[in-house]
């Protein structure tokens, strides 16, 4: 048992209210993965450079490796585990990443999808350049980003009720 004081936190994660006691020094990423067993957000660099730990907090993309769990007290969070549609089918972004081959090893994918989700809420019809700028804080070492961009374009089209048109190469 730790001698460090435990602080109560309450937050809504993926639509479910969660109450726990945490040490003040517990990072949000560790709280999610270790206390709640939500292992979709990944620990990559622990310095906010890679974006693998990206979650949505009160409608904003945040890198959970640079935030304490106590700072999320009272917040609404979404992780990749909460991205599917209510009926369990893939969200437009998840479908886009699948259909457009927007992943290879998959390590960056949860953070990339969460960042793209916030991007599409901010800008429902982004250009390729806006997508590239919007995901620039999330690194992928496998794909070269082209298929990630296509996946986000696919999702934007689906959410806007239009047909996805791949650019001619």
Tens-digit pLDDT profile for residues 36-82: 999 999 999 888 899 999 999 999 999 999 999 999 999 999 999 99
pTM for the full predicted model: 0.92
Q: Could you tell me the CA-to-CA distances from 60 to 56, 103, 115, 121, 165 in Å, in that order?
A: 5, 23, 9, 10, 29
Asked whether the predicted pLDDT for residue 144 surpasses 80, the reply is yes
Cα–Cα distance, 54 to 40 (Å, whole number): 10
- Domains with residue ranges and CATH for the chain: 5-80 (3.10.20.30), 90-158 (1.10.150.120)
């Amino acid at each position: 048992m730790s001698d460090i004081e435990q602080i109560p936190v309450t937050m809504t994660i993926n639509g479910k209210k969660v109450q726990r006691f945490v040490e003040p020094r517990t990072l949000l990423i560790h709280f999610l993965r270790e206390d709640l067993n939500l292992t979709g957000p990944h620990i990559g660099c622990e310095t906010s450079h890679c974006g693998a730990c990206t979650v949505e907090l009160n409608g904003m993309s945040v890198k959970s490796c640079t935030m304490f769990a106590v700072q999320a007290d009272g917040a609404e969070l979404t992780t990749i585990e909460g991205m599917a549609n209510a009926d369990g089918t893939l969200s437009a972004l998840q479908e886009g990443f699948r259909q457009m081959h927007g992943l290879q090893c998959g390590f960056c994918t949860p953070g990339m999808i969460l960042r793209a989700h916030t991007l599409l809420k901010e800008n429902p019809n982004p250009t390729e350049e806006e997508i590239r700028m919007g995901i620039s804080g999330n690194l992928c070492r496998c794909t070269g980003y082209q298929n990630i961009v296509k996946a986000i374009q696919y999702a934007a089209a689906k959410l806007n009720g239009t047909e996805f048109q791949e650019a001619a190469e």
